[in-house]
Structure 1
Amino acid sequence: MKKLVILPVLALLLSVGTKQKSMAEENKTYVPDTPKLSSDVMTPEVLWSFGRIGNTELSPDGKTVLFGVTYYHIDENKPYRELYTVPVKGGDVKQITNTALNESGAQWRPDGKKIGYLFAKDGDMQLWEMNPDGSNPTQISAIEGGISGFKYSPDQKHILYVKAIKLDETINDLFPDMPKANARLENDLMYRHWDSWHDYTYNHPFIAAYGEGMITAGTDLLEGKRYDSPGKPFDGIEELAWSPDGKQVVYSCKKMTGKAYSLSTNSDLYLYDLASKKTVNLTEENKGYDKSPTFSPDGSKLAWTSMERDGYEADQTRVFVRDMKTGKTTNYSKDWEQHAAHLSWSRDGQSIFFISDIHATDEIYQLDLASGKIDRLTDGVHNYQTVVETADGQLVAQKVSMSQPAELYVVNPKNGKDEPLTAVNKGTLDQLEMGKVEERWVKTVDDKEMLVWVIYPPHFDPNKKYPTLLYCQGGPQGTVSQFWSYRWNFQMMAANDYIIVAPNRRGLPGFGMEWLEQISKDYGGLNIQDYFSAIDALAKEPFVDENRLGAVGASYGGFSVNYLAGHHEGRFKAFISHCGIFNFDQMYVTTEEMWFENWDIGGPYWDKSNQVAQRSYSFSPHLFVEKWDTPILVIHGEKDFRIPYTQGMGAFNAAVLRDVPAQFLYFPEESHWVTSAQNGIVWQRVFKNWLDKWLKK
């Protein structure tokens, strides 16, 4: 197996490693030198040593890229993030910040003469500015309580910023004579979401004058309203957009609270006019998600992503464009079955670039507005994550694969070829032997073709028989594309000397809406058979030991493992279930996003007249525990409110009571994910030890 080779870099961070180290020691930041590896096989420590690129911004003149890189200091168990720039046409990568605190939300000022960023020097996150070379950092805002995002108006007369506003009463507000009381008193749903209890605050967008001294206050566009914009917990400043003339703002918001919020995905786009102070709903007719607004360069059009059906979070993500003068709205995805994400206007405003999943890779597409034609620009074994057009008509895009963490590339839109712009991790990757990633097509039980990724161990020997893992994807409408994960990393799993089988089973995007939607209300149906089709096909290979098969997965993948435990008919010798659903009845009344449960399960368990829902509840893994006989490792985080950790406890306890060998790996400070460095490494070690114990005897 050949080593992963990256073409010669245009700019190399590692060339200044010695200088960065001395700067780090002086300023207490952390930009490590390239580690000298003792082996060419991946380890958890190596996985967590990679620099993580993000927050990519192209300069207004289209010539320079601003980006951040995060490194995790394992001993300190914390991340360090610094900002860098690199010319689009090549040259040196320049590190422009070097502090012990993390800079975030960095963006170019519209005139290109400053870079704005968020920085918490004195505790609260505030807006700062610096010169493009990193010199003269200056605090711009002093907003009480801090801010979480910002955008310059194109005319540089105003700043749009986001601030958390407290509108709900705490228990101590209700009973001020009980200042040490620690309790919550709830009256409605959505009191916790994903990984956080509601903190009695709401994200509100504010507009303040810019260039008149320190920013200390602004106009609240949602004053007194218990709504969030950007939405919690995952939305960011991309959900707000300035018109190019700086006179209007469009923001996305789901103007609901409590139970109504938990049942609906109906967010809308709202246009706020600075002069009249009036707000207009631009998408009232659409009942699903409307998100990520972006104006054309001349302001004549507004593009956004839209889902049609309320309550269906995995609906097709479509490209919508509105003529701001006539109000006419066009759905450019009407005759196109794929999803669109990360919309970006061409510099002439005649087309839109975006990312779409096709056959388990994420590619760059271009929509021509005049003809409505959508062209695919790239084709390869990779995932593009962002895209933007440069001054000379090239594209800057962030790209990953199963064999490489994110780097920036310059893409030729005419032929789809790319050249690396950064090589943050080249020094480490050059020392590693990556396993071969192979695309296979497997027949399903209903005679359809299913794409299955097969990842081989480094130094694969076809004459050996390997223990093999079936990977079960979450979502359930997630994608088994060419993603690079710091937990479910296919190369990391393969480096433990396993064959990995990763099927694009029913319910995944990139293969048409029929394939995607089949899984809803059929959790124990065809997609489970797809798992069996994939592992049975690979088990026939001479290099796969059919007597040493395991199944692993998280979220819906964790449910899949729990369900397979009662239905696998002896195929598997070990299971790992991370944050998996165990008891559907309890899941329904303890999760938070009720729209998800109602759409995918079909309704509440107490509605005995709803035969669709009752069939869904018949798939609950807890109903089949009497058939469990295979060792299982259960993993869960206490702060997982999407699938509460008691689901994991239930699975583990049931296994022990059934005398099935089991372990429970529990993280009090983690949520649906494992995000800290040391917990992440512990996760990888326990994962490997469990599988080795049962599959490598």
Structure 2
Amino acid sequence: MVRSWYELPEYVRLRRVNGLRLSPDGTRLVAPVSDIAPDAKSFRSALWEIDVAPEAEGGSAPRRLTRSTKGESNAEFLPDGSVLFTTGRVDPEAKAEDKPKPALWLLPADGGEARQVASRPAGVGAFTVARDSGLVAFMSNLLPRSEDADADTEARKARDEAGVTAILHEALPVRSWDSDIGPDHPRVFTATPPEDDEARLGEPRDLTSDAGLALLGSAPELTPDGSTLVIGWAVPTAGGSRRDEVVAIDTDSGDRRTVVGGPDAAYEFGGPLVSPDGTRVLTRATTEGSYHGEPRDATLWITDLATGEGRDLLPDHELWPRDYAWSADSGTVFLIADQNGRRPVFRLDVATGELTRITGDHGAYSALNPSPDGRHVFALRDAWDAPPAPVRLDADATDGQPAYLRTPGSELSMPGTLTEIETTADDGTRVRSWLVLPEEASAESPAPLMLWVHGGPYMSFNGWSWRWNPWILAARGYAVLLPDPALSTGYGQDMLRRAWGQWGPRTHADVMAITDAAEAREDIDAEHTAMMGGSFGGYMANWIAGHTDRFKAIVSHASLWQLDGFSGTTDYPPVWESEFGTPLAQPERYQLNSPHLHADKIRTPMLVIHGDKDYRVPIGEGLRLWRDLLLHEVDAKFLYFPDENHWILSPGNAQVWYETIFAFLDHHVHGKEWIKPELL
């Protein structure tokens, strides 16, 4: 018997396309594609080549380019068509290593065996290639006192032999998501391309020996001729905060100058992208908002590399750019932004500011790759009813449709239908939502409802999710409501202003209004409803639990519970404090919004889920929530993952995550006997 993809053992084995890179001549697409490793305990990635022509135009089937037990990722093309990528595989030409670090490898343009061309003691991170000269820039970490790779190797060996793992921090941040910051810090290196088929990259040159923590989270960009490197640079400010700027570094002299940002700038700047003509840089400009002022905001900023003169490219729009790319002639910018529950692609004329939406479907796009002839944009398209797949877009279209390329990913049929609903909140604001319906849902056989609230909170429920997939529930008979309440992006800044600093009350009202609208449908069983959410969605799960007993069960994943404790333990408190202030100086918003203050009102059975390696919402939040539920004698369970982070990433744990939720829902929504998942 063949099992469907939404059966959990099959689901974790699905092949997933994770990116897309077009060669400079526009003839080849390469994508990292992940699937389950042979031991079934992790996922691994390989590089695949995708034909740039749709199947209807004779496009051939994708072919796999790389194979190794460690997997490969982050593909970039050299000028000769060879492909650089990172992998932690063992180099057969080097001395044995106990734990090989990610290194740069090269796959020849005409095929053949890949070979290692650069390595570092701490491994190689993000990298880029100058389009014309082939100069390579890459990130790698060094211990603070290390001047070169040999010194770094010796310093690491000394720490290891002495049994030292301690890190002395003198500035924020201390942690990020699931990783400790330090004791080493990122620097950026440049190296010339290989001179022949046997050579490695040239001797790496450190351009940022004084960087300290300035390059955390940054990725390098090069002008086409390789003469200038552009990269994000963090400058420490008062209270352990920082200011994000963009600097340009002369790759010959090493001279560095700030080209975007500064102490008087209204925005923080990052994600630099150099124009193909090498004269300008495009950056994402953001604000974290202010306690007494406006909420968060984002736009695109263009700057002349020579003069430093810059301007806002979207002064008359309220789009939040998520991804962007230059056209080959440097006259157009293609960008992606949330809009009304979609994530379309827009075309922006740099000279006139004219903005045109080039995709008119309900897709969510990413990984933009404009073609060198200016005719097309290659991208990944996904939606709630389709996993990411490569497509070709007409660059000159208005509300056009994608042409699908043959994909190395999984092409799936959904066990139900996707629709959308909307309602009007109590303050008159439109609130919309996607609704996933199981195949059997009808007036004669209404489906139980699961309300999912998204994380962020500054995001939109507009595309496919491998971690939280509603079709897994739909296949088991549930309708799944996926709303965009207050604080969601894609509906203008007023949607953020409504709940800025008042997450709980305002968002709760929106979520209850859209739930009412869903429950009014004849194909929804309003007597059997549940709710779940993760991160901010978990926060809302906790808030909802303390403010209504309408749900039969609530699942709270990686959730915020006691906000005054969370504010100082999250991985970068200054971002949080821009909206909420500090508990001692500005306690009002903590008292208004903290779910733990309503613990005594919780009557709904709750499943608490948390990973110990979660540094964004630290494990203390889950432990305190669990303890408070026990003290108030709430029917609750705590699913704890000692080695997972904000997300549950390993295949086995992902299956157990779903299985535990199913068992909890079966028990409390359908009244079935509680059956603990077999492996628990």
* TM-score normalised by structure 1 residue count: 0.87
Aligned amino acid, residue 422 of structure 1: R
| Cα shift readout 1:281-309 (whole Å, capped 9, x = no counterpart) | 01234353311212222112221211145
Aligned amino acid, residue 253 of structure 2: S
Superposition map of 1:434-453 within 5 A: 434-453=415-434
Aligned amino acid, residue 430 of structure 2: E
Alpha carbons of structure 1 residues 38 and 191: separation in structure 2 relative to 1, 3 Å: closer
Deviation, structure 1 residue 618: 3.0
Deviation, structure 1 residue 194: 1.7
User: Which whole-Å CA distance do the structure 1 matches of 2:564 and 2:296 have between them?
Assistant: 25
> 1:542 is matched with which residue: 495, 514, 522?
522
User: Which whole-Å CA distance do the structure 1 matches of 2:61 and 2:225 have between them?
Assistant: 35
Deviation, structure 1 residue 517: 3.3
Q: Is the 8 A contact 2:327 2:333 kept in 1?
A: yes
User: Which whole-Å CA distance do the structure 2 matches of 1:532 and 1:144 have between them?
Assistant: 53
Alpha carbons of structure 1 residues 372 and 491: separation in structure 2 relative to 1, 3 Å: same
Q: Does 1:126 align with 2:103?
A: yes
Q: Is the 8 A contact 1:558 1:580 kept in 2?
A: yes
User: Which whole-Å CA distance do the structure 2 matches of 1:445 and 1:351 have between them?
Assistant: 42
Aligned partner of 1:106 in structure 2 is 75
| Cα shift readout 1:521-540 (whole Å, capped 9, x = no counterpart) | 10122111001101122222
Q: Does 1:572 align with 2:551?
A: yes
Q: Is the 8 A contact 2:68 2:89 kept in 1?
A: no
Larger deviation, residues 155-164 vs 186-195: 186-195
Q: Is the 8 A contact 2:450 2:532 kept in 1?
A: yes
User: Which whole-Å CA distance do the structure 2 matches of 1:634 and 1:157 have between them?
Assistant: 51
Aligned partner of 2:562 in structure 1 is 583
Secondary structure of 1:67's match?
Answer: strand
Aligned partner of 1:32 in structure 2 is none
User: Which whole-Å CA distance do the structure 2 matches of 1:314 and 1:195 have between them?
Assistant: 27
Secondary structure of 1:140's match?
Answer: strand
> 2:393 is matched with which residue: 403, 411, 435?
411
Secondary structure of 1:82's match?
Answer: strand
Q: Is the 8 A contact 1:289 1:310 kept in 2?
A: no
User: Which whole-Å CA distance do the structure 2 matches of 1:187 and 1:249 have between them?
Assistant: 28
User: Which whole-Å CA distance do the structure 1 matches of 2:633 and 2:407 have between them?
Assistant: 50
> 1:528 is matched with which residue: 501, 504, 508?
508
C-alpha RMSD of the superposition: 2.6
Q: Does 1:385 align with 2:350?
A: no
User: Which whole-Å CA distance do the structure 1 matches of 2:38 and 2:120 have between them?
Assistant: 33
Secondary structure of 1:537's match?
Answer: helix
Q: Does 1:195 align with 2:178?
A: yes
Aligned partner of 1:154 in structure 2 is 131
| Cα shift readout 1:369-408 (whole Å, capped 9, x = no counterpart) | 1211111111112101122222451221101111221110
Aligned amino acid, residue 649 of structure 2: T
Unaligned runs of 5+ in 2: 54-58, 91-99, 147-151, 672-680
Alpha carbons of structure 1 residues 367 and 272: separation in structure 2 relative to 1, 3 Å: same
Deviation, structure 1 residue 179: 2.9
| Cα shift readout 1:562-613 (whole Å, capped 9, x = no counterpart) | 1111111x31111100011111121122222112221232x12112xx3xx4
Deviation, structure 1 residue 133: 4.5
Alpha carbons of structure 1 residues 524 and 388: separation in structure 2 relative to 1, 3 Å: same
Aligned partner of 1:267 in structure 2 is 244
Deviation, structure 1 residue 178: 9.9
Superposition map of 1:3-18 within 5 A: none
Aligned partner of 1:329 in structure 2 is 310
Q: Does 1:359 align with 2:345?
A: no
Alpha carbons of structure 1 residues 604 and 502: separation in structure 2 relative to 1, 3 Å: same
User: Which whole-Å CA distance do the structure 1 matches of 2:531 and 2:159 have between them?
Assistant: 53
Q: Does 1:633 align with 2:612?
A: no
Alpha carbons of structure 1 residues 151 and 425: separation in structure 2 relative to 1, 3 Å: closer
Aligned amino acid, residue 408 of structure 2: V
Q: Does 1:306 align with 2:285?
A: yes
Superposition map of 1:22-421 within 5 A: 37-39=2-4, 42-73=6-37, 75-89=39-53, 90-112=59-81, 114-122=82-90, 123-156=100-133, 158-167=135-144, 179-180=162-163, 186=169, 188-211=171-194, 213-215=199-201, 217-229=203-215, 231-232=216-217, 239-256=219-236, 260-261=239-240, 263-264=241-242, 266-285=243-262, 286-308=265-287, 315-392=296-373, 393-413=375-395, 414-415=397-398, 416-421=400-405
Larger deviation, residues 244-253 vs 416-425: 416-425
Unaligned runs of 5+ in 1: 1-35
Alpha carbons of structure 1 residues 512 and 121: separation in structure 2 relative to 1, 3 Å: same
Alpha carbons of structure 1 residues 190 and 143: separation in structure 2 relative to 1, 3 Å: closer
> 2:653 is matched with which residue: 679, 684, 688?
679
Alpha carbons of structure 1 residues 133 and 51: separation in structure 2 relative to 1, 3 Å: farther
Larger deviation, residues 69-78 vs 274-283: 69-78
Q: Does 1:456 align with 2:437?
A: yes
Q: Is the 8 A contact 2:24 2:131 kept in 1?
A: no
Deviation, structure 1 residue 616: 3.3
Alpha carbons of structure 1 residues 643 and 214: separation in structure 2 relative to 1, 3 Å: same
User: Which whole-Å CA distance do the structure 2 matches of 1:682 and 1:209 have between them?
Assistant: 48
Alpha carbons of structure 1 residues 667 and 363: separation in structure 2 relative to 1, 3 Å: same
Aligned partner of 2:494 in structure 1 is 514
Deviation, structure 1 residue 512: 0.3
Aligned partner of 1:561 in structure 2 is 541
Aligned amino acid, residue 535 of structure 1: T
Aligned partner of 2:675 in structure 1 is none
Equivalent pairs, count: 639
Deviation, structure 1 residue 156: 3.0
| Cα shift readout 1:448-503 (whole Å, capped 9, x = no counterpart) | 2111111101333331132211111111112111x211221121222221111121
User: Which whole-Å CA distance do the structure 1 matches of 2:164 and 2:409 have between them?
Assistant: 49
Q: Is the 8 A contact 2:133 2:224 kept in 1?
A: no
Aligned partner of 1:474 in structure 2 is 455
Secondary structure of 1:223's match?
Answer: coil
Aligned amino acid, residue 454 of structure 1: L
Deviation, structure 1 residue 104: 1.6
Secondary structure of 2:438's match?
Answer: coil
Alpha carbons of structure 1 residues 168 and 48: separation in structure 2 relative to 1, 3 Å: farther
User: Which whole-Å CA distance do the structure 2 matches of 1:335 and 1:222 have between them?
Assistant: 37
Aligned partner of 2:584 in structure 1 is 606
Larger deviation, residues 467-476 vs 143-152: 143-152
| Cα shift readout 1:654-675 (whole Å, capped 9, x = no counterpart) | 2122221111000001111111
| Cα shift readout 1:539-566 (whole Å, capped 9, x = no counterpart) | 2222322221111101111111111111
Q: Is the 8 A contact 2:261 2:269 kept in 1?
A: no
Deviation, structure 1 residue 208: 2.4
User: Which whole-Å CA distance do the structure 2 matches of 1:248 and 1:141 have between them?
Assistant: 21
User: Which whole-Å CA distance do the structure 2 matches of 1:367 and 1:518 have between them?
Assistant: 29
Secondary structure of 2:230's match?
Answer: strand
Deviation, structure 1 residue 148: 1.5
Q: Is the 8 A contact 1:288 1:311 kept in 2?
A: no
Deviation, structure 1 residue 189: 4.1
User: Which whole-Å CA distance do the structure 2 matches of 1:668 and 1:86 have between them?
Assistant: 39
Larger deviation, residues 71-80 vs 183-192: 183-192
Secondary structure of 2:504's match?
Answer: coil
User: Which whole-Å CA distance do the structure 2 matches of 1:371 and 1:660 have between them?
Assistant: 60
Aligned amino acid, residue 227 of structure 1: L
Deviation, structure 1 residue 79: 1.7
Deviation, structure 1 residue 181: 6.0
User: Which whole-Å CA distance do the structure 1 matches of 2:160 and 2:408 have between them?
Assistant: 56
Deviation, structure 1 residue 110: 2.1
User: Which whole-Å CA distance do the structure 2 matches of 1:132 and 1:178 have between them?
Assistant: 43
Aligned amino acid, residue 66 of structure 2: T
Deviation, structure 1 residue 226: 1.2
Aligned amino acid, residue 653 of structure 1: R
